[in-house]
Structure 1
Amino acid sequence: MIFVSHALPVNGDGVSITKDQLWAGLVMKANNALPFVSSMSSCTVIDRISDTVFDREIVLRDEAYTERITLQKPNRVVFTRIAGDVLGTIANEIEGDDDDLRLRFSFALVVSMAKPGSTEEEAYAEGMKADYLKAVESTIAAVRKMAEKTIAAA
């Protein structure tokens, strides 16, 4: 099993965003991750179970997965892999307040095609960490752009 958890500051340079704006961005990413995750080539919602739970099919690094998404407003989105070669849980969490906002991503995954503790599993973990770090950075950037447009329109 591989486990990674990392938090990035949300505000600093440029337009500051609020928790509510960041939450809206996470909901957008949950529904369509393509603008946020460069290694993902397909993302389709296949079943809306409730207002806060839905399933989606994704293709990530040319591998197909089914994920159950759980929106835990106002600060956590959980992606539970329910089908594919890599199963487990991924979470995006909003931490802090508007003055010290952070976005944490965490994942605990089992890679079926790699022996636990092997160099293959380690390489997969490093690739996942790099992919998710990019996804968190692009999520923050996209939300910042939305906030800039809102300010410009006012």
Structure 2
Amino acid sequence: MKFEHLVEINDLSNPLIEVISREQLWRGLILRAESPKMFVSYIDQCAITDRTEVSMTREIQYGTLLITDHVSMVHNDYVHYEVPAQDQIPPSSLRMSIEEPEPDHLFVRFCYEDGHTAAEDEANEMYDEYRRSAYHEADVDTIRVIRELAEGGLLNALMN
């Protein structure tokens, strides 16, 4: 299954919504990688087991399930999550890319891929429709949390 969608960050036509900067948005996306429990309530634990300036490897515990993933990033551009095949889990990926078609008009494009063949996608269509809906809802919630942190000044403090 391949699935992508855009979430608008700054609605420039609405003066009641605070404009957050690309750097604040970027910091929020990195915070989601570093501290995913802030964004996903059902994660029990997350440990970063390896880290460079442009990547990290994490172990995430969901109950008895332990998943290892790799996160790579290009500053102010994208964060890419890759889950290699492990136990009963097939490989998958998620890329969160910042788009700015005009100054301050920010979006995040969420691109999911699970590595299934077209035949597997067809067989899983009903399940995949549910997954697309759940992914969309989770992504909108991620942006809501980032916006709350930015509006509260917490992403500014983290940027220094």
TM-score bucket (shorter structure): 0.7 to 0.9
Instruction: Trace 1:71-90 onto structure 2 (pairs within 5 A).
Output: 71-84=73-86, 85-90=89-94
How far apart, CA to CA, are the structure 2 residues paired with 1:60 and 1:69? 18
Give the superposition deviation at 1:39: 5.0
Q: 3-state DSSP class of the match of 1:66?
A: strand
Moved more, 121-130 or 97-106: 121-130
1:105 aligns to what? 110
How far apart, CA to CA, are the structure 1 residues paired with 2:132 and 2:47? 23
With normalisation by structure 1, the TM-score equals: 0.79
CA RMSD of aligned residues (A): 2.8
How far apart, CA to CA, are the structure 2 residues paired with 1:17 and 1:35? 19
User: Which amino acid counterpart does residue 28 of structure 2 have in structure 1?
Assistant: G
1:148 aligns to what? 151
1:91 counterpart = 2:95: yes
- CA offsets 1:15-62 (integer angstroms, 9 cap, x no match): 2211111000000001121222345444321222x1111111224697
Q: 3-state DSSP class of the match of 2:30?
A: helix
- Describe the shift of the 1:130–1:37 C-alpha distance in structure 2 as closer, same or farther (beyond 3 A): farther
How far apart, CA to CA, are the structure 2 residues paired with 1:98 and 1:40? 35
Q: 3-state DSSP class of the match of 1:116?
A: helix
2:71 aligns to what? 69
How far apart, CA to CA, are the structure 1 residues paired with 2:64 and 2:126? 16
Q: Size of the alignment, in residue pairs?
A: 147
User: Which amino acid counterpart does residue 76 of structure 2 have in structure 1?
Assistant: P
- Describe the shift of the 1:137–1:23 C-alpha distance in structure 2 as closer, same or farther (beyond 3 A): same
User: Which amino acid counterpart does residue 36 of structure 1 have in structure 2?
Assistant: F
1:30 counterpart = 2:29: no
With normalisation by structure 2, the TM-score equals: 0.76
Moved more, 101-110 or 89-98: 89-98
Unmatched 5+ residue regions in structure 1?
Answer: none
Unmatched 5+ residue regions in structure 2?
Answer: none
